[in-house]
Structure 1
């Protein structure tokens, strides 16, 4: 929902300011449209339906995984395509992976979005409308900005959307922003008043290998990125999640784990090892026993590590797979 348009429309209609709060409250609780907002006058509901689209996004396609994961293809007002994902867990969590940009400029070699051209940043309303789409279907408890795009390069809109996520039932402590290591954004997040979690997409502790996988490392070397993460921890006192996609024969050997353990302070970092499901990729995913052995090396060096339960692989909704094949159609 375009909340700025809502405000100006209500002002043009001579409505009191509390009307905007009423509309937003209904939307955040999962209302499907203005007609459900029974504490608004019927005539006003009709005016809003004509003048303020209930969502800035149009649903193009839904794809449901056998594990319950739901991926949605959405279209913006200028016909840009984005994807967002809802992952449901047996413990009751409903975790949403939000996109922050159309495409991505940072060209990480394992990431399908990185092979798309960057088009533009998403607005706060477009980011919120991804979460609201799922909120209309179910409760959501967690959000991670790990969809299409680099969130730290669109941080104003990401933070503006994040400020409203608690109204949907997602606290700041259950919101995380994932970054490839965009230091200006990490430093800005450090200074915010919201206790949002930080996740670092790392994937190699060797500078040359990391640059080969993630060209952004040439601009912001890993040593400098880790220093920014440590500044975040010193201010927020919140552990940083390290995301490490396991690529067969590339970054998954015991010496890679030794290198990773050597650069991570176990007080500050926890590692999530992510099985990789290749889709039109130059890489293959590591075997399960290889991932387990990698984890064992980290834990023997005192670094906490878990193997992520990967969801949505059968619908290309797993880590690094959001690419919007329809964008080229």
Structure 2
């Protein structure tokens, strides 16, 4: 990666200091900020409000934009991008449009070390954390590809956000202050990292915390998420309760339904016992099959019974409909196909 810090991810104050250090008046900082975050410029050479001579002097300073390696669009309009980074690594990001919003699913790491048994990303292991500009770039790239402003961001792409804590926090600030996306329109998803949920709570952010649970007991969770042995489910839930106490905001629990594995009525009962009694919401998701794992989508009647049982137990719950199923919907599939040379 470049030894020169990219400009993307820096605040208006930082960019103003940067141009002043290079002989420009301070008002040029606001112009540079506008060209980077609103116009989505990829090179300083393209910022025509600066003189050509000055642009040539700073031409080695990177903005910090990635390149699109592969683009896949599903029938429902979901756009999935494989982005090439400066060191040759690749990551995925997804644009999910609807009538009144454009949501971007961003990655926080190259690969993932959580090793979830049902996840394509986890099959490849963790390479490294993403830098701030590499996280922010995903939103600007999707915005340009979809030709509309991004309204919502979910950290549900490749990687574990709370393992990249400082850079994710900086990216959250950038999304909010520089791109103008309200914190309440941002969700940070985590498998659960010891001590990090309470640390995240101390930031007093207005973002939504989503905890990827996927099992209602420790033994099944360990089977699905081997890394979960470091964070017993009882302690995880205790930290989620503390998060609610500290922030006053509810916790969302993500629960992928795997046919014949975690979708029985007794699992719904256990889940209700686990998350009932405090400010929370359960998002049920249907599994997106991958070739590397022998799991199946649950039968519709089992999904309906599972959801109904949670609601009977007074657990706030809803079923999230899958998007992009016809185009490598599961996180990590585009990247693994590129790395292994598998055909689509």
Same fold (TM over 0.5): yes
SS at match of 1:189: helix
1:140-289 → structure 2 map (5 Å cutoff):
140-166=150-176, 167-280=178-291, 281-289=293-301
Unaligned runs of at least 5 residues, structure 2: none
Give, in angstroms, the shift of residue 306 of structure 1.
Answer: 0.7
Flag the 1:17–1:159 CA change in 2: closer, same or farther, 3 A.
Answer: farther
CA contact (8 A) 1:272 1:305 kept: yes
Cα distance in 1 for partners of 2:306, 2:297 equals: 14
For 1:296 and 1:319, locate their aligned partners in 2 and report how far apart those are by CA, in whole Å. Answer: 28
Indicate conservation of the 8 Å contact 2:17/2:26, yes or no. Answer: no
Greater CA drift, 7-16 or 121-130: 7-16
Q: TM-score, normalised by structure 1?
A: 0.92
Aligned to 1:299: 311
Partner of 1:310: 322
- Determine helix, strand or coil for the equivalent of 2:338: helix
Determine helix, strand or coil for the equivalent of 1:315.
coil
Superposition deviation, residue 59 in structure 1? 1.4
Q: What's the CA shift for 1:57?
A: 1.4
Instruction: Classify the secondary structure of the residue corresponding to 1:226.
Output: helix
Q: 1:307 to 1:220 in 2, by over 3 A?
A: same
How far apart are residue 18 of structure 1 and its match? 4.5
1:296 CA drift (Å): 0.1
SS in 1 for 2:195: helix
Distance 1:247 1:16 in 2: 59
State the distance in 1 between where 2:15 and 2:69 align.
Answer: 24
Match of 1:76 in 2: 85
CA pair 231-323 structure 1, distance change in 2 beyond 3 A: farther
Indicate if the aligned counterparts of 1:141 and 1:170 stay in contact, CA closer than 8 A: yes
Could you tell me which residue of structure 1 aligns to residue 112 of structure 2? 104
With 211-220 and 6-15 compared, the bigger mean Cα shift is at 6-15
Deviation digits for residues 180-227 of structure 1 (CA, Å, limit 9, x no counterpart): 011322122101142121000001111101110011221001111111
For the residue of structure 2 that corresponds to 1:84, the secondary structure is: strand
Is the CA contact (8 Å cut-off) linking 1:101 and 1:148 kept in structure 2? yes
TM-superposed deviation, 1:38 = 5.2
Counterpart CA distance in 1 for 2:93 and 2:204 is 27
How many angstroms apart in 2 are the aligned matches of 1:328 and 1:102? 16
How many correspondences in the alignment? 327
TM-score normalized with structure 2 length? 0.88
Alignment RMSD: 2.2
Q: Which residue of 1 aligns with 2:31?
A: 22
User: Could you tell me whether the CA contact under 8 Å between 1:147 and 1:322 is conserved in 2?
Assistant: no
Matched residue SS, 1:53: coil
Counterpart contact for 1:56–1:129, Cα < 8 Å: yes
Q: Is 2:259–2:299's contact at 8 Å kept on the other side of the alignment?
A: yes
SS in 1 for 2:63: coil
Equivalents in 2 of 1:65, 1:312: separation in Å? 5
Paired residues of 1:94 and 1:139 also in contact (CA < 8 A): yes
Please identify, of 78-87 and 307-316, the stretch whose mean Cα deviation from structure 2 is larger. Answer: 307-316
